[in-house]
A and B are shown apart, each in its own frame.
Chain A
Amino acid sequence: EAEVAQSPRYKITEKSQAVAFWCDPISGHATLYWYRQILGQGPELLVQFQDESVVDDSQLPKDRFSAERLKGVDSTLKIQPAELGDSAMYLCASSLAGTGDYEQYFGPGTRLTVT
């Protein structure tokens, strides 16, 4: 069964350091999402890609966060510099967009702890 892959699964970093997360969506899924999930809350969208283009990054803190999906396949989310408040689960998801099929599939997430 096809799955969304994410790495690393866990990351501990010190405040002010840079950190990067990687996501490989399900093959053929044109839409890729990055979410942040704080413990006890629902996922909140950070950025949404359609192929290699950003569709929505209105909730992305652009002073420290960046995301790219250069070839329209896998994606990287970067935080520089990390702050204590960035500690959360970072989830990647993908879906077939533009086909009327809205099913969204999540990866296992990256648990970030900023010390």
Chain B
Amino acid sequence: QQQVKQSPQSLIVQKGGIPIINCAYENTAFDYFPWYQQFPGKGPALLIAIRPDVSEKKEGRFTISFNKSAKQFSLHIMDSQPGDSATYFCAANGNTGNQFYFGTGTSLTVIP
């Protein structure tokens, strides 16, 4: 059973566009929601994370929007650049066992 559902599977945007990646979860015990960026042949790198006590968090060009009632969260990349082309994973973690559950990933391509 997929604990975290991620969409879309792939995304192509022009430079300067705002790609949006969405994730949904069912387990209300989750209380930490990170996003990871992964380049080919590398391990995932923590990009930004949010806890459910806030509805939005910004770090540089990256913004997480969180909707607790809908059990959804999304990543927005402002002024996207070709260097942002990578695979993005959402994840969720709860207090029990400290296990992380990952989405299936979104392959983002930013066209110059």
Contacts and interface: CB of A to CB of B under 8 A. Distances in A.
B32 interface: yes
Interface residues of B, number: 22
Interface residues of A, number: 27
Interface stretch (A11-19, A42-50, A61-69): A42-50
SS of A interface (majority): strand
Contacts of A6: 43
Nearest to A31: B98
Interface in A70-110: 91, 93, 95, 97, 102-109
Contact of A45 (B34, B42, B99, B103): B99
SS of B interface (majority): strand
Nearest to A40: B105
Contacts of A91: 43-44
Given A48-B98, A97-B98, A43 B44 contact: yes
A109 B97 CA distance: 23
Contact of A42 (B42, B99, B104): B104
- Which residue of B36, B42, B100 has the most chain A CB atoms within 10 A of its CB atom? B100
Contact of A103 (B34, B41, B42): B34
A55 B97 CA distance: 7
A101 to B, nearest CB: 10
A60 to B, nearest CB: 13
Given A31-B98, A48-B98, A104-B100, A42 B43 contact: no
Interface in B49-95: 49, 89, 91, 93
List 4 tightest A-B contacts by C-beta distance, closest first.
Answer: A42-B102, A106-B43, A102-B32, A109-B43
